[in-house]
Amino acid sequence: MVTLTIDGKQVKVEEGTTILKAAEKLGIKIPTFCFHEKLQPVGACRMCLVEVEKMGKLQVACATCVSEGMVVRTDTPQVRTARRGVLEFLLLNHPLDCPVCDKGGECELQNQVFKYGSDKGRYAEQKRRFIADPKSKYDDLALGPQIIRNMNRCILCRKCVRFITEIAGETDLGTFGRGSRTEINALPDIPVDNPYSGNVVEICPVGALTSKSFRYRIRVWETEPSASICPLCGDGCNITVWSKDQKIYRITSRRNDLIDEGFLCDRGRFGFEFVNHPDRLKQPLVKKDKEFLSADWDEAIKLVASRFEAIKRRSGADSLAGVGSPKLTNEENYLFQKFFRVVVETNNIDHRVDSKHPLPDPNFKAKNHIFGMTNSISQIEKAKLSFVLGCDLQKEHPIITLRVIKSTRSGNALIVANPQRTTLSKFAQDELIYQRGTELVLLNSIAKVIIQEKLFDADKTTLSADQMDRLQENVQAFESGEVSQVTGIDPEKIKKIAQTLAKAESVMILSGKEIIGHAENTKIIDLLQDLLGLTGHQNKDNCGVNLLWEHCNSQGALDCGLLPERLPGRIHLSDGVFRKGVEKIWNAKVKEEPGLDFDQMLKSALQGKIKAMYIAGADPVSTSPDGNLVKEALKKLEFLVVQDTFLTETAKLADVILPGVSFAEKEGTFTNVEGRIQKLKKAFEPLANSKEDWQIICLLAQAWGYDFDYTSPAQIFKELVKVSPIYAKASWEDLDKMENK
Ligand code: SF4
Ligand code: SF4
């Protein structure tokens, strides 16, 4: 540790800490432009100059490390003069177009000139101008589909270029020219459209980089910020939604170092337009003579309740089925499955309409890992070897991808194995492109090489003698020539991968959609576990098998019991003690027999056994691998209710459509891929006559004579915590405290 004095106050920090960070520890803010927490310091803007005793010149605080006994002054006349000088230089060419600049109101240059700048300018000459289009008086230049540059405003901090190269690992933005003609630009004929391009808009301290979707539409201070969670993948990035009059104008990062480190992908940042779309459903619709007619809530709810009740009376509770969604909140999904188990009295509930997810044995505690991630997102960068198998990581999990890129940047290895080339491949030291569906053959042959060539340390393996015998026996069948023919992978390559896996200090496996949707998904995951066990990488720091669920609340839907055989907490219905406990809290009986999963529901509907369905937040006709079959089955139903925000292909088949709301209009929680429960807050009230999904479920239950008298998602969450052992330690109030950690 090093002790130093800053502005008369002593502080102790670790060796290697910069003056800027040490000052921050004392609550002293040193102004910066080019510094960014997650980028290498470059000391380019000179705004953070400070006085250091015994050093002749002023020093840059962002790039000067502390030393024992150092005495620093951050606010002396000399420092203030230097800051004023830096600002005067920056303003020589900076246009005074703040009244029309998107950054106005949150511009670092504006703020620092206000605080440290001079009230007089001495430069009377013509300002330099970068002309984007000689015919236009505006100098806006589109660098990519979203990114617009106005070079006149640029202060050359280079944070944008450094982000693109250091964090995103891309090369589509660079610095060109020299001296006062230096400019930030895209490469000739290559647009800036990497999956993280929008971050440069947020990172740019001035209005030099703006986004097409926000530019010139509204002043920043007219919009209201609201804390939320991105709903567009399972990573769970923390976002701020900026809205006015029930319209989202932009989304920015609400930095959470455990997940996103302050970055968003472009899908999350710019993909909000669906919320503002004019085709949003705003009123309940009831089908009469094949036409949808507007109805009021009372009429629609009474109709649904009476039809459901009549079908139940006539054909039994198990002739009804419910499909929830991994895009609804935990509270909504919890309530949805409770509605079916308590009100309808059936376990015919599911949410897995896109593919069939693996489920563990009823003895799930021993195999808990296959429900999600073993490791946390922030641990990924610590593994010495990341092995991405069956997952187009950048498409499926863009922010997790940044962790993997970060890991490779610090010298860790990456192997990518997929049925096709993916964008992550360029960061990998080895890439396997195998025949789709041959993962088991590939993994068995890797295990065989490790065993045959004795690449594992018998003292470190965590496999029991039985497991070892079974594995040895299983792998015998995989003869290298045949394996190569089946998988398309050269035996030498398999040998190399086996050696890399066996000798790595730590191995983290990341698998996604390809494995989740695989017919033998459970076997693959078990084999991956065995591979880690064999090589001594099981239950070790920064090692594990991680199954990355796709949607924003896939994990939560499982946790909340949106499954035909499991109650909230993912506990099997056959666990009598647990079931009785739930019945006590619900004050209702729960059937012990598992219900039908989505595939079985379809078959049953085609046979005329399932007569009514309630689908909330899902569009299986569009997203299921066999949409035509779904359509055919749904058409056979006597009565279909769809709750959604748009007239989806599934909704078109409904008898009644109940308008739910988007993530921006609701409060609740999502559980991300790593099992982190996070709260989203309402940015604005539900559009027109739509309602929050939990309220609709309550109305339906009440119309059926049940006291679902919940008044808020907080109340539902508190009940979920009581019911589900997985969420037992969570508290609604603590979720607020966890923000911006
Ligand atoms: S465009 Fe913005 S972030 Fe990039 S160098 Fe210029 S001021 Fe810095
Ligand atoms: S990575 Fe996923 S959660 Fe994060 S911003 Fe992108 S889509 Fe949203």
pLDDT at position 739, please? 53
Q: Which residues are 433's β-sheet partners?
A: 418
Question: Within 13 A of 707's CA, how many CA atoms are on the CB side?
Answer: 3
- Which residue do the tokens 């009123």 mark? 283
CATH number of 364-547: 3.40.228.10
Tokens linked to 601: 């529901």
Element (H, E) at 700: helix 693-703
Taking the CA of 236 as reference, the closest ligand is 2
In this prediction, residue 731 carries a pLDDT of 94
The pLDDT score that the predictor gives to residue 521 is 85
Q: What distance in Å separates the CA atoms of residue 243 and residue 684, rounded to the nearest whole number?
A: 8
Average pLDDT value for residue range 480-497 = 92
| The predicted structure's pLDDT at residue 670 | 98
The residues lining ligand 2, judged by C-beta closer than 6 Å to any ligand atom, are 230, 232-233, 235-237, 264-265, 267-268, 398-399
pLDDT at 366: 45
Helix (H) or strand (E) holding 474: helix 465-475
The pLDDT assigned to 238 comes to: 97
pLDDT at 20: 97
**Strands of 413-418's sheet in order across:** 430-433, 413-418, 385-389, 507-511, 544-547
Instruction: Name 195's Cβ contacts closer than 8 Å, sequence gap at least 6.
Output: 168, 265, 266, 267, 394, 398, 401, 423
Which amino acid is located at 251 in the chain? Answer: I
State the alpha helices, DSSP H only, in 117-158. Answer: none
pLDDT score at 361:
52
Q: Where in the sequence of the chain do the CATH 3.30.70.20 domains occur? A: 98-120+128-276
The ligand 1 atom at the shortest distance from the C-alpha of residue 161 is 4
Assigned token pair, 470: 């079974």
Rg (CA), the chain: 29
Ligand nearest to the backbone CA of 673? 2
* Ligand 2 atom closest to Cα of residue 229: 3
Report d(CA 141, CA 257) in Å as an integer: 33
Contact 208, 143 (CB under 8 A): no
Which ligand is closest in space to the CA of residue 393?
Answer: 2
| Gap between the Cα atoms of 196 and 264, Å rounded | 7
Across the range 57-85, mean pLDDT stands at 96
The percent of residues in the chain predicted with pLDDT above 90, rounded, is 88
Query: Amino acid identity, residue 632?
Result: E
Query: Residue 60: its pLDDT value, please?
Result: 96
Does pLDDT of 369 surpass 60?
no
- From the CA of 205, which ligand is nearest? 1
Pick from 146, 228, 235, 377 the residue to mutate for probing ligand 2's pocket: most ligand atoms within 8 Å of its CB.
235
Taking alpha carbons only, the member of 209, 208, 263, 206 closest to residue 239 is: 263
Burial category of 16 from C-beta neighbours within 10 Å (exposed 0-12, middle 13-18, buried 19 and up): exposed
Tokens at 418, concatenated: 């997929």
Predicted confidence band of residue 738 (pLDDT cuts 50, 70, 90): low
The percentage of residues in the chain with a pLDDT greater than 70, rounded to a whole number, is 97
Q: Show the tokens assigned to 580.
A: 């009785």
Question: pLDDT at position 70, please?
Answer: 96
User: What's the confidence (pLDDT) of residue 359?
Assistant: 60
- DSSP 8-state code for residue 65: B
Residue 199 has pLDDT above 90, yes or no: yes
The Cα–Cα gap between 192 and 265 comes to 13
What is the model's pLDDT at position 736?
Answer: 81
In 3D, which of 110, 197, 75 has the Cα closest to residue 148? Answer: 197
List C-alpha distances in Å: 436 to 365, 502, 518.
Answer: 31, 25, 10
Among the atoms of ligand 2, which is closest to the Cα of residue 265?
6
Q: Would the pLDDT of 365 be above 60?
A: no
In angstroms, what is the span from residue 645 Cα to ligand 2's centroid? 21
For the segment 104-120, what is each residue's pLDDT rounded down to a tens digit?
999 999 999 999 998 88
Q: Residues 222-240: what's their mean pLDDT?
A: 97
HSE-CB of 355 using CA atoms within 13 angstroms: 16
- Distance, CA of 101 to CA of 570 (rounded, Å): 51
Residue nearest to atom 2 of ligand 1 (CA): 204
Is the pLDDT at 368 greater than 80, yes or no? no
Among protein residues, the one whose CA lies closest to atom 4 of ligand 2:
237
> For the chain, where do the domains classified as CATH 3.40.50.740 start and end?
285-356+553-737
> CATH 3.40.228.10 in the chain, residues?
364-547
- Ligand number, closest to the Cα atom of 185: 1
CATH topology of domain 98-120+128-276: Alpha-Beta Plaits (3.30.70)
**One-letter amino acid for residue 343 of the chain:** V
Atom 6, ligand 1: residue with shortest CA distance: 154
Whether the per-residue pLDDT at 364 is higher than 60: the answer is no
Enumerate the β-bridge partners of residue 2.
Answer: 13
Beta-sheet pairing, 285-288 with 291-294: antiparallel
**What average pLDDT is seen over the chain?**
94
pLDDT at site 136: 76
Residue ranges of the chain that CATH labels 3.10.20.740:
2-93
Task: Find out whether the beta carbon of 155 lies less than 6 Å from any atom of ligand 1.
Answer: yes
Q: What are the residues facing 195 on neighbouring strands?
A: none
Strands 639-644 and 656-659: parallel
Residues 68-81, mean pLDDT to the nearest whole number: 96
Stretch among 125-129, 259-263, 324-328, 427-431 having the lowest mean pLDDT: 125-129
CA 257 to centroid of ligand 2, rounded, Å: 14
**How many Å apart are CA 87 and CA 84, to the nearest integer?**
5
Whether the predicted pLDDT of 58 surpasses 60: yes
Per the document, the length of the chain is 741
Distance CA 154, CA 141 (A): 13
pLDDT for residue 133: 77
Best residue among 259, 265, 377 to mutate for probing ligand 2, ranked by most atoms within 8 Å of CB: 265
Query: Is the CB of residue 220 less than 8 Å from the CB of residue 241?
Result: no
Judge whether residue 362 has pLDDT over 50: no
Give the CATH fold of the 285-356+553-737 domain: Rossmann fold (3.40.50)
Question: Which pLDDT value is given to residue 15?
Answer: 94
pLDDT single digits (tens) 617-629: 999 999 998 999 9
Which atom of ligand 2 has the smallest separation from the CA of 264? 5
Let me know if 666 is exposed, middle or buried by CB neighbors in 10 A (0-12, 13-18, 19+).
buried
700, 338 contact by CB (below 8 A) = no
Burial class (CB in 10 A: 0-12, 13-18, 19+), 295: buried
Among candidate residues 549, 474, 548, the one with its CA nearest the CA of residue 509: 548
Average pLDDT over residues 516-539: 90
> φ, ψ for residue 588 (rounded to 5)?
-155, 160
Residue 360 banded pLDDT, cuts 50, 70, 90: low
Backbone angles phi, psi at 504, to 5 degrees: -65, 145
The neighbour count for residue 109, using CB atoms within 10 Å, is: 23
Nearest CA to ligand 2 atom 8: 268
Tell me, in angstroms, the distance from the centre of ligand 2 to residue 667's CA: 19
CATH domain 2-93 topology = Ubiquitin-like (UB roll) (3.10.20)
Burial (CB < 10 A; 0-12, 13-18, 19+), residue 720, is buried
CA distances from 580 to 544, 594, 707 (A): 34, 15, 20
Asked if residue 573 has pLDDT above 60, the reply is yes
